[in-house]
């Protein structure tokens, strides 16, 4: 039986592994090769060695994009996880106890659906919607209210100091619903007896959250942090559709994916764009590996 098992397993693995090599590994290898050339998309590529990487090291737009990613890497996971945890706790454990079981706030099932709505919208659609929200005139949802109150419009997307924060706010709004559902699923997997025992001991809601819920949700939080960190290295769709001049004003909202797109499809510098893609690949992999290593802890057995 054991000898016949291995051909069976290999037979099932051949197709998916082949597809993975053809559609994932091969494009990565091709990108690494193109990054070492001066290919412009039409004529045969000419070898350039590390010239693209040397040029990238002195590119101000590249480093500005890195700076924006660092800001997003700190704010996007922190704010999204904090809001999602708060809502998930309310929806699952924030209500009054019913008999011997704990429950969420009234209408929690309805709120779960409402919070998940942004996940049903494509990112370009969300960018278009928030473009109307951020309009710097009376037709804008926010500035229109300010104008009616006799205040000056802020101009969220045209103000260099506020534009990036406006983009981050959209990313948070779009992501929160998914992590509310994720954390709700994690809380639902925790035995209710633990929460009920803590409540019988007189533990307040704050203790129930910080001393009971968070430690038992650690693995889920770790996954959420990695996913949101990877999202912080993206942001292309929102930046490309929502911002002024696709990354403006004056590159104050640009991200690496936007720089890759512009260099490849606007300026025809596919070799240089691929070098940026390689840099983005290693940044993302490094972040994920470090996060998993730093946040690793012993699993709490239930």
pLDDT band at 106, cuts 50/70/90?
confident
Q: Where are the alpha helices (DSSP H) in 21-122?
A: 26-34, 51-57, 60-93, 108-116
Q: Are 88 and 216 in contact (CB under 8 A)?
A: no
Which residue has better confidence, 12 or 3? 12
Strand partners, 98: 101
For the segment 153-210, what is each residue's pLDDT rounded down to a tens digit?
898 999 999 999 999 999 999 999 999 989 988 888 877 777 777 767 666 677 777 7
For the segment 117-136, what is each residue's pLDDT rounded down to a tens digit?
888 889 999 999 999 999 98
pLDDT of residue 201: 67
* Percent of residues, the chain, with pLDDT higher than 70: 90
Give one word for 246, left, alpha or beta, with left for phi > 0 and alpha for psi -120 to 50. left
pLDDT band at 137, cuts 50/70/90?
confident
pLDDT of residue 64: 95
CA distances from 253 to 66, 157, 257 (A): 11, 9, 12
Would the CA dihedral through 129, 130, 136, 141 be positive or negative? positive
pLDDT of residue 236: 92
Q: Is the pLDDT confidence value at 104 over 80?
A: no
Distance CA 9, CA 49 (A): 42
Q: Is the pLDDT confidence value at 100 over 80?
A: no
Q: Where are the alpha helices (DSSP H) in the chain?
A: 2-20, 26-34, 51-57, 60-93, 108-116, 123-133, 141-148, 163-188, 192-200, 205-207, 214-216, 218-232, 236-242, 256-261, 270-294
**Domains contained in the chain, CATH given:** 1-25 (no CATH), 35-294 (1.10.3720.10)
Q: What is the mean pLDDT of residues 92-106?
A: 62
Nearest to 32 by CA among 13, 17, 52, 12: 52
For the segment 237-283, what is each residue's pLDDT rounded down to a tens digit?
999 999 988 898 999 999 999 999 999 999 889 999 999 999 999 99
Q: Are 185 and 148 in contact (CB under 8 A)?
A: no
The model's pTM is 0.86
pLDDT band at 72, cuts 50/70/90?
very high
Nearest to 168 by CA among 297, 76, 36: 76
Distance CA 295, CA 285 (A): 16
Q: Is the pLDDT confidence value at 301 over 60?
A: no
Angle at 75 between CA 73 and CA 81, to 5 degrees: 100
Distance CA 86, CA 1 (A): 52
Length of the chain: 302
Distance CA 159, CA 166 (A): 10
Which pairs from 182-186 meet CB under 8 Å and 24+ separation? 182/84, 182/220, 182/223, 182/224, 183/84, 183/85, 183/88, 183/89, 183/217, 183/220, 183/224, 184/88, 184/91, 184/92, 184/112, 185/220, 186/88, 186/216, 186/217, 186/219, 186/220
Q: What is the mean pLDDT of residues 45-72?
A: 92
For the segment 224-234, what is each residue's pLDDT rounded down to a tens digit?
999 999 999 98
216-247: burial string, b at 16+ Cβ within 10 Å, e else: bbbebbbbbbbbbbebbbbbbbbbbbbbeebb
pLDDT of residue 1: 47
Distance CA 212, CA 203 (A): 10
Phi, psi of 98, rounded to the nearest 5 degrees: -110, 100
């Amino acid at each position: 039986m054991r000898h016949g098992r291995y051909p069976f397993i290999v037979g099932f693995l051949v197709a998916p592994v082949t597809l993975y090599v053809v559609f994932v590994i091969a494009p990565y290898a091709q990108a690494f090769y193109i990054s070492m050339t001066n290919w412009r998309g039409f004529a045969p590529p000419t070898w350039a060695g590390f010239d693209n990487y040397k040029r990238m090291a002195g590119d101000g737009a590249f480093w500005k994009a890195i700076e924006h990613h660092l800001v997003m890497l700190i704010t996007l996971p922190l704010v999204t996880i904090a809001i999602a945890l708060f809502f998930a706790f309310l929806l699952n454990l924030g209500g009054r106890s019913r008999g011997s079981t704990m429950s969420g706030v009234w209408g929690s099932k309805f709120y779960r659906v409402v919070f998940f709505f942004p996940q049903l919208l494509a990112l370009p659609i969300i960018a278009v919607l928030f473009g109307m929200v951020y309009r710097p005139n009376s037709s804008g949802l926010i500035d229109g209210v300010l104008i009616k109150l006799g205040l000056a419009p802020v101009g969220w997307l045209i103000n260099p100091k506020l534009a990036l924060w406006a983009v981050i706010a959209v990313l948070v709004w779009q992501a929160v619903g998914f992590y509310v559902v994720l954390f709700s699923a994690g809380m639902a997997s925790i035995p209710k007896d633990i929460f009920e025992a803590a409540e019988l001991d007189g533990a307040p809601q704050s203790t129930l959250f910080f001393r009971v819920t968070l430690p038992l949700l650690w693995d889920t939080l770790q996954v959420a942090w990695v996913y949101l960190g990877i999202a912080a290295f993206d942001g292309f769709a929102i930046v490309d559709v929502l911002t002024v001049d696709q990354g403006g004003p004056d590159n104050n909202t640009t991200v690496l994916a936007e720089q890759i797109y512009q260099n490849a499809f606007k300026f025809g510098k596919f070799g240089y764009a691929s070098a940026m893609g390689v840099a983005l690949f290693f940044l993302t992999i490094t972040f994920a590996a470090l996060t998993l290593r730093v946040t690793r802890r012993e699993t709490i057995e239930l």
